[in-house]
Structures are given as structure tokens and as C-alpha cells.
Amino acid sequence: MTLRKRLATKSLTPRKSPRQTRAEGTVAAIVEAAAHILERRGFEGFNTNAVAEKAGVSIGSLYQYFPNKDALLSALIAREAAPLLAVEKELAGIAGSRAAFQRYVIAGIQYQMRRPQLARLIDTAEKADTFSDQVMGTVTRLRAVVEKILDLKDAPIVLDKAVAAADVVAITRSLIDAAGERDKTDVDRLRRRVEGAIWGYLTSG
Amino acid sequence: MTLRKRLATKSLTPRKSPRQTRAEGTVAAIVEAAAHILERRGFEGFNTNAVAEKAGVSIGSLYQYFPNKDALLSALIAREAAPLLAVEKELAGIAGSRAAFQRYVIAGIQYQMRRPQLARLIDTAEKADTFSDQVMGTVTRLRAVVEKILDLKDAPIVLDKAVAAADVVAITRSLIDAAGERDKTDVDRLRRRVEGAIWGYLTSG
Amino acid sequence: MTLRKRLATKSLTPRKSPRQTRAEGTVAAIVEAAAHILERRGFEGFNTNAVAEKAGVSIGSLYQYFPNKDALLSALIAREAAPLLAVEKELAGIAGSRAAFQRYVIAGIQYQMRRPQLARLIDTAEKADTFSDQVMGTVTRLRAVVEKILDLKDAPIVLDKAVAAADVVAITRSLIDAAGERDKTDVDRLRRRVEGAIWGYLTSG
Amino acid sequence: MTLRKRLATKSLTPRKSPRQTRAEGTVAAIVEAAAHILERRGFEGFNTNAVAEKAGVSIGSLYQYFPNKDALLSALIAREAAPLLAVEKELAGIAGSRAAFQRYVIAGIQYQMRRPQLARLIDTAEKADTFSDQVMGTVTRLRAVVEKILDLKDAPIVLDKAVAAADVVAITRSLIDAAGERDKTDVDRLRRRVEGAIWGYLTSG
DNA sequence: TATGAATGAGTCTTCATTCAT
DNA sequence: GATGAATGAAGACTCATTCAT
């Protein structure tokens, strides 16, 4: 995407909502193909033609559902962020901040461990541009979750909840990523390390 | 970079060392232009023509000194990583691990604060690929520094120093990055937050 | 083609087979344009942009069907070699080696006379490289034809049929080329000269 | 060389005649470097910078002696053609056409066997363009030699000596080339094959 | 609606040649 | 004279996107 193009502010919303089941399947196939290509070939190999081919759809069809490449990536990000909704809901029922953070960390680990490459690339993509504003991505979602935890009565007191939430999310991601790079899968130890860093951060102020 | 290209293992070392003073200036101008373009336009806008133009040299000159685009990026990474050498040396004279970590965190903050965008993008680039093997980048360097600190007598005891070092670096970067995204510049408070996270992490095992 | 590139062994097979009739026309137009450009401008002027323009298609279309420049040249060679298949079949029905050689020489003359420049350039290209292995070109085909003739009962006896066949093809081509350079078209006289050389060669051992 | 450039009719004569011995050495080194590069890398890798480097001279110096790339190639062709002068002289003393042809064939074999790759490439280059007119190359020279042989009293009578000479040269080259491609070095057998083809050709009219 | 053929701006890279030092 | 830094036109190739069928 060139600078000029980026400034033109393209719509990132799907071009048409699929009402028929067949179309839904097509859209899902395209998004999964996008995930697949991104995982295997990285951003370099992530192009719409490859995605269409992998999805078993014509390039024309792809553009029938997504107005442009960014919209496709956007949809993928949204799809990946979706499971985190579950955590949001679940956390509503947890009273203690310690337990809540534990649940949050576990969710984060599970999320990132399932498709590590993909998680990391989406992370990068989210940082890279535009999306943050228009799409409610993983990071935004996680920050909201953490902010809620910090609202709990027994949570550590911090100066700025937004900052703290952002930092906690950043720490969590970076440690899980680092573990992912090492192909480590000792989830329990990882969880304790992450929690240690979070509490250290929250109680150091 | 396509897959095929990546497999071809391009050289990342400069094509020719400048012998005349004029040439040295050219090389420096090109690298600085690369930094500038990367900062302002991101990876999307980072193309060799733009760099050459910004540097005020012809595209041919760029390719006299850098065999390909990656080599240019590589040189930029190396240039940015250089200042961190200073810390490595300085740290040799510090005995206490607490003080050492403090110095390390400060160095990291200073490094990333100077050109936050650039630092973050280089971070991404380093993660992205190939370089890690061929270029001794910032991250590798910083990990070595932290490992040395962990070797100090009064340092917290950790199970695996390599893992701990990688994690400490990851935490540090992510927190400083997060601060950078927010355009925060309260260095002192940031420093304390980072140190808190580090110590929390190191003493939680 | 640089050394590095050559080692990378590019595919010379068409990228995608045209499924629609329109596409078939495009492919044919591109190959014919390639022939045309090669004839008129030689290898120096043979570039993909010129070919695309001459074919009246966009450069993108050219690359939809041919993965690279060599593949295009390869396709052209194959196209030119095709008519020689006819001779192969026809020769099956001829018993005497003398008559067979006569037919072979006539075919060669006709082939090369139709588009002399093109024939000569393709000849050069085939010699030049890579193709020989991957593409069954004119020369290979002709050698096979001659070997078959040498298998006939009344054919002159030679020490090494492969060598003799290669030599006969070489002589034929060189004489017809030489005539082509002079723009001579006295086919009959040329034919007799070629046959004389061939028989002289074959019976001199 | 683009079409436009070719039409501009560049001078192919060396830019300045070296009077000092050092300069002569330089010129010789450049031409030999050109031969070397052409042999190892073919036309694709034959570029002035490579030649200069191989010659151990700066690119500037190369252009001091040769006004352009073609002039360099031209000089190389001339150099390679030179040894054939010896044959021309020697042939003056031979009376019988049979012996003369034998001597001619031997010379041709020796010439082409010494540096087969180079000989073949120069052959191609000579055919390719422009040079033929301005430079007295190998082929032209050989044709003159053969024409002289055909002038001998006992030589076979041919309709058109120029044509016959061209054809004899063509046959000779093609057979030796073919042998060269096969890496055959049985010079004597090759010589007999070539002579057979020549006599067959000359006596078939 | 689906298809896939076609487009062409944009990017990397090379290399013959010039010219200031 | 020699050097090598600098130039930039030219060429191979990609890929997001459009549109006729």
C-alpha cells in the first residue's frame, strides 16, 4: 500500500454482508486462506491472488466480499480477536484481581499458542497502521479486559489505568512471543513468569 | 522479499567500502535517508528510489554501496545498534546488579526515545527475518548485556539465564515501545515501571 | 541472465494455460510478437516490454502466461520447432536413405527459409544455454530425425551415429544459414550443395 | 546496446593508440580480461566493469582506451583473428589445393580448439551485428583464405567462388563447433570428417 | 454472482558511460 | 594519465484492482 493510497482512507468493512449460507462459507474460506498464507509466507507472500487461490475462489469473488486487501486483513484480525470475547464475559464473574489476572494470562497464552506465527504477525499488522482506529483488534480488546480487572476493589492501585492496562498487555504479549520464538510450551512456568512480571510492574509504583 | 529470493541468501554486507571521503559522505547520507524514510513512511513507503532521492543521490549510487534493499536495511540496523556498544563497555565497571539494570534500562530508554518510530520499526524488521542470523542486531546485543548482569554475584538467581535475558529484553522493549506510542516522555517514571517489571519477573520464580 | 540467476533454475514452462478463448489469442499474439521483435531487433532489442507492446497487451498479461523472459523465448522455440514434427512422421514412410535425406534437407531449407532471421536467432539461442536440457528444441529434434535415417538399411555406415547425426545437422544448418545471409533463394541449387556436403561427410570415413 | 544506440554508429577503433609500453600492456590486459570474462560468463556477464576489474584497471582507464563496449569486443575479435594471418602467409607457399585445404582445416581446428568457448562466442558476436563491416574478423579472413585456395590450378571448379568459400568456412566451423560441444579432441578424425564434408561439397556441383 | 483475463503503476536492480579529483 | 564515484535510462517482474463475459 503506497502512502497516497493509505491517505485515501479506504473502507475496511466488508463490501457486502453475506446473507446466504454459501456466501458465508466463502467469506470464511477466504479469511482462513488469508490466515494460512500469512502464517506460511509472511507479509511478503501475503497477496490477494494467493489468498484467493488458496481459498479456492476466483480473485473476482474475493473482491466481491472485500473491497481491498486491507479489509481482508482487517477481517482476519477481527476473527482472531473474537475468541477473546469469551474471556471478557467470563471475567465478569470473577471477583479477585489475582484470579482474574491469572485467567487473563491463561487466555493470552492459549490465544497466542494456538497459532503463534499468526498471532505475532497480526500483532505487527495491528501496530503498523490504520487499523487500530477502525477495527477493534486484539490489543484493544485485551486492554479493555485489563482495565476492567484494575477496576476491581482488590486490584493494585495505579496512577493511570489506561497506561497500566496498555503496559500489562505489552508485557504479556512480549513474554509469550519470546516464549513462542523459543518454541517453549511449558505453559505453567510461562504463566508464572508472566504473572510475576505483571505484579512486579503493578506494585512497583 | 519472495520465498524464492529468501532462499537464495543474498549478501547483506556492503558491496564496496568507500575509499574517497566523498563516498563516505554518500554512504552516510544514504543510511540516514533510509532511517528518515522508514520513520516517516513505514515499511510500505520504504523503497530504494525514495531513499536515494531523499539522500540526494542517484539510485545507481545507492546500489554501488548496497547490493540490495535488505543490505541497506541491515546497515541501518547496524548503525542504530552501535550506540548500545557504549553500554556494554560501561557496564563492565558496575558491580551491583541493581545499578547495572538501572543503567541498562536508562540506556534502552534513551536509545528508543531518540527516534521512537525508527526504533520500533527496526525492532519489527529484526523480528521479521533473515537478519537475526547474519547481523548481530540490537536485540542480540542487549540480551548479551543482560546475561552479563545476571552473572553478577548479587543478581537474582534464575533457572535459565538465556531465557531470563531474552525475557528481560522483551519486557523492556515492549514497555518502552508502549510508552513511545503514547508519546510519553516522563523518563523517570517510565524507568521505574520498567525496573519494577524486570524485578518482578526475576524474583517471581 | 546472470550466473546466480541461471543457477536458480527458473521454470520455463508456461505459468498458466489459457482457459478462455480470449486468452488463447493473447498467448498466440504474445509469442508471435516475440518472434517479430526478435527478427527485427535481435537479442539486443528483445525485451518483454517491447514484446507486450507489439502484441498489443499489457506487460502484466505477458507475465500471466510466461513466468519470465526465458520462458517466452522457450515457447517461441517450441512453436518454431513444431512444424518439424511433420517431417518426422513423413519420414517413417520413406525407405531409401538417399530419398530420406533429400526430404530432410528440403524440410530444413523450407523451415529456415520461411523466416531466416528468426531461424538463425533461435539457433543461436538454443546453443546459448539452459534450454537444451529443458526444452526439446529444433536441433534435438532434427538430430533424432537424422539418426533414424542412418538406421535405414541402405544408409552409409558410420562409426558413431549420434556424432554423425549431430554433424549432419550442423552442416545443414550452417549451409542454409550461410545462404540465408546472402538472401539467396535458389532452393534447388542450395539443396544439392547441402546434400553433396552431407554425402561427402558420411562417405569419407 | 539498444537499437537507437546502434544506429548512432559508434566508432569501433581504439580511442588512442598506446605509444608507451605501459599503455600497451594495459590495453593487452584489458583485451585479455575481456576474453576471460566472455569465456567464463558469456555475453550475459560480459560488462565493462567486470572486464576492468579483471584487468586490474579502473573503469575510467578502460574508457580511455576504448570509446565504448563494442570497440572493446571489436578489439578482442581482431586479436583472435590475428593468428590466422600466419596461415594466410604459409598458404602462399603451398601449390596443391588438397594439401592447402588440409593445412586450412588444421589451422581452423587449432584455432577453435585452443579456446573453444571463446571462439564460439566470438563467432556469435560476429554474426550478430555491425562488426562485419568495420572489422576484418575471423570469418572474413578465413573466407579470403579459402578463396585463394580455390584459385589454385588443381582446385575443384565451382560456380561462385565467394559462395563456395563462405560455405566451406561455414561447414568447417560448424563441424569443429559441434566437436567442441562434445568435448571431443580426436583432432585427426575430426580433420578427416571436415575434409570429407568439404570435398563432398566442392565436388557435388 | 462468479470468473479469470487484463491492466499498469510501481519497485528492484543493472550497467554503459561521464567527470571531478 | 589514472581513478573510482556518480549517473540515470532501461529492463524484468509483481500485484492490487477492474471489468467483460
pLDDT at C177 over 80: yes
**C65: which nucleotide lies closest, measuring CA to C1'?**
E5
Confidence of residue A6 (pLDDT cuts 50, 70, 90): very low
Range ranked top by mean pLDDT from A83-97, C184-198, D51-65: D51-65
Which of the other chains make 3 or more beta carbon contacts under 8 angstroms with chain D?
Answer: C
Name the residue range of residue D32's domain.
8-73
In the 126-185 segment of chain C, residues within 7 Å (Cβ) of strand E are: none
More confident residue, D141 or D19: D141
What is the pLDDT at residue D7?
A: 41
pLDDT, tens only, C57-92: 999 999 999 999 999 999 999 898 888 777 888 887
In the 49-108 segment of chain D, residues within 7 Å (Cβ) of strand E are: 49, 59-60, 63, 68-69
Residues B109, B67 share a domain: no
Cα separation, A173 vs B170, in Å, equals 9
What is the pLDDT at residue A2?
A: 33
Residues B90, B69 share a domain: no
Region D95-102 average pLDDT: 92
Predicted model pTM: 0.87
pLDDT at D134 over 80: no
Average pLDDT score, chain A: 85
List the grid coordinates of C181: 545471409
Q: Do A201 and B193 touch (CB under 8 A)?
A: yes
What is the pLDDT at residue D138?
A: 78
What is the pLDDT at residue D26?
A: 92
Q: Report how many domains make up chain B.
A: 2
For residue C3, is it within any domain?
A: no
Instruction: Determine what percent of chain C is predicted with pLDDT higher than 90.
Output: 52
| Lowest mean pLDDT across A19-28, C103-112, C181-190 | A19-28
Residues B35, B92 share a domain: no
CB B81 within 8 A of CB B137: yes
Q: DSSP label at B157?
A: P
Residues A179, A113 share a domain: yes
Residues D125, D60 share a domain: no
What is the pLDDT at residue D15?
A: 61
Query: C-alpha distances in angstroms, C187 versus C106, C184, C190, C197, D158?
Result: 8, 8, 5, 15, 17
Which of the other chains make 3 or more beta carbon contacts under 8 angstroms with chain B?
Answer: A, C
What is the pLDDT at residue D136?
A: 66
Instruction: Tell me, letter by letter, the H, E, C secondary structure of C95-156.
Output: CCHHHHHHHHHHHHHHHHHHCHHHHHHHHHHHHHCCHHHHCCCHHHHHHHHHHHHHHCCCCC
Residues D69, D37 share a domain: yes
Through-space separation of residue B161 CA and nucleotide F3 C1' in angstroms: 53
pLDDT, tens only, C117-141: 898 888 888 877 645 455 566 788 8
Q: Do B163 and A173 touch (CB under 8 A)?
A: no
Q: Distance from C4 to chain B by nearest Cα, in Å?
A: 9
What is the pLDDT at residue B111?
A: 87
Give contacts of D205 with chain C, Cβ < 8 Å: 192-193, 196
Is the distance between the Cβ of A23 and the closest atom of strand E smaller than 7 Å? yes
Confidence of residue D198 (pLDDT cuts 50, 70, 90): very high
Is the distance between the Cβ of B130 and the closest atom of strand E smaller than 7 Å? no
Confidence of residue A135 (pLDDT cuts 50, 70, 90): low
Region B48-71 average pLDDT: 96
CB D202 within 8 A of CB D158: yes
For residue D81, is it within any domain?
A: no
**Chain C nearest-CA residue for B6:** C8
For residue A1, is it within any domain?
A: no
Residues C197, C139 share a domain: yes
Q: Distance from B50 to chain A by nearest Cα, in Å?
A: 12
The HSE-up count of residue A44 (CA atoms within 13 Å, CB side) is: 12
Confidence of residue A111 (pLDDT cuts 50, 70, 90): confident
pLDDT, tens only, A149-179: 999 999 999 989 999 999 999 999 999 988 8
Range ranked top by mean pLDDT from A32-36, A89-93, B187-191: A32-36
CB A125 within 8 A of CB A73: yes
Cα separation, B198 vs D108, in Å, equals 81
Which of D3, D125, D140 has its CA nearest to residue D70?
D125
Residues B193, B92 share a domain: yes
What is the pLDDT at residue A93?
A: 84
What is the pLDDT at residue A7?
A: 42
User: Could you say which of C20, C42, C73 is where a domain stops?
Assistant: C73
More confident residue, D169 or B112: D169
Measure the CA angle with vertex C162, ends C156 and C164; round to 5°: 45
What is the pLDDT at residue B22?
A: 74
Region A66-77 average pLDDT: 94
**B59: which nucleotide lies closest, measuring CA to C1'?**
F8
Task: Give, as ranges, the nucleotides of chain E with any atom within 7 Å of a protein CB.
Answer: 1-21
List the grid coordinates of D46: 560480459
Residues A180, A102 share a domain: yes
What is the pLDDT at residue C2?
A: 34
Q: Which residues contact A123 (CB under 8 A, 6 or more apart)?
A: A138, A139, A173, A177
Confidence of residue A48 (pLDDT cuts 50, 70, 90): very high
What is the pLDDT at residue B129?
A: 63
Residues B136, B53 share a domain: no
Through-space separation of residue B46 CA and nucleotide F5 C1' in angstroms: 25
Give contacts of C45 with chain D, Cβ < 8 Å: 2-3
**A67: which nucleotide lies closest, measuring CA to C1'?**
F17
- Contact of D15 with chain C, judged by CB distance below 8 Å, is answered with no
Residues D142, D61 share a domain: no
> Which of A3, A42, A193 minimises the CB distance to B204?
A193
What is the pLDDT at residue D181?
A: 81
Pairs of residues, one from chain A and one from chain B, whose beta carbons lie less than 8 Å apart: 112
Region A58-63 average pLDDT: 96
Q: Distance from A44 to chain B by nearest Cα, in Å?
A: 6
Which of the other chains make 3 or more beta carbon contacts under 8 angstroms with chain C?
Answer: B, D
Confidence of residue C28 (pLDDT cuts 50, 70, 90): very high
Pairs of residues, one from chain C and one from chain D, whose beta carbons lie less than 8 Å apart: 111
Region D60-70 average pLDDT: 95
- Contact of D171 with chain C, judged by CB distance below 8 Å, is answered with yes
> Which of A167, A174, A195 minimises the CB distance to B193?
A167
pLDDT at A1 over 80: no
User: Could you say which of A50, A73, A96 is where a domain stops?
Assistant: A73
- Contact of B8 with chain C, judged by CB distance below 8 Å, is answered with yes
pLDDT at D133 over 60: no
pLDDT at C110 over 50: yes
Sign of CA dihedral B91, B97, B103, B108: positive
- Contact of B39 with chain A, judged by CB distance below 8 Å, is answered with no
The HSE-up count of residue D103 (CA atoms within 13 Å, CB side) is: 19
Is the distance between the Cβ of B102 and the closest atom of strand E smaller than 7 Å? no
pLDDT, tens only, B5-50: 444 567 777 777 766 677 788 999 999 999 999 999 999 999 999 9
Confidence of residue A4 (pLDDT cuts 50, 70, 90): very low
Radius of gyration of chain D (CA): 19
pLDDT at D2 over 60: no
Is the distance between the Cβ of C4 and the closest atom of strand E smaller than 7 Å? no
Cα separation, C125 vs C6, in Å, equals 15
Q: Distance from B8 to chain C by nearest Cα, in Å?
A: 8
pLDDT, tens only, B103-134: 999 998 988 888 988 988 888 888 776 454 55
> Which of C41, C195, C203 minimises the CB distance to D3?
C41
User: Could you say which of D39, D73, D107 is where a domain stops?
Assistant: D73
Residues C101, C161 share a domain: yes
What is the pLDDT at residue D141?
A: 82
Cα separation, C162 vs C166, in Å, equals 6
Q: Distance from D86 to chain C by nearest Cα, in Å?
A: 26
Region D168-178 average pLDDT: 92
Task: Give, as ranges, the nucleotides of chain F with any atom within 7 Å of a protein CB.
Answer: 1-21
- Contact of C4 with chain B, judged by CB distance below 8 Å, is answered with yes
What is the pLDDT at residue B6?
A: 41
Instruction: Suggest the residue from B10, B161, B175, B192 to mutate for an interface test with chain A (most A CBs closer than 10 A).
Output: B175
For residue C1, is it within any domain?
A: no
Which three-class secondary structure state does DSSP give residue D115? coil
Instruction: Tell me, letter by letter, the H, E, C secondary structure of B5-39.
Output: HHHCCCCCCCCCCCCCHHHHHHHHHHHHHHHHHHH
Q: What is the CATH classification number for the domain harbouring C60?
A: 1.10.10.60
Q: Distance from C9 to chain D by nearest Cα, in Å?
A: 16
pLDDT, tens only, B170-199: 999 999 988 888 876 788 989 999 999 999
> Cell 520513520 sits at which residue?
B39
What is the pLDDT at residue C87?
A: 83
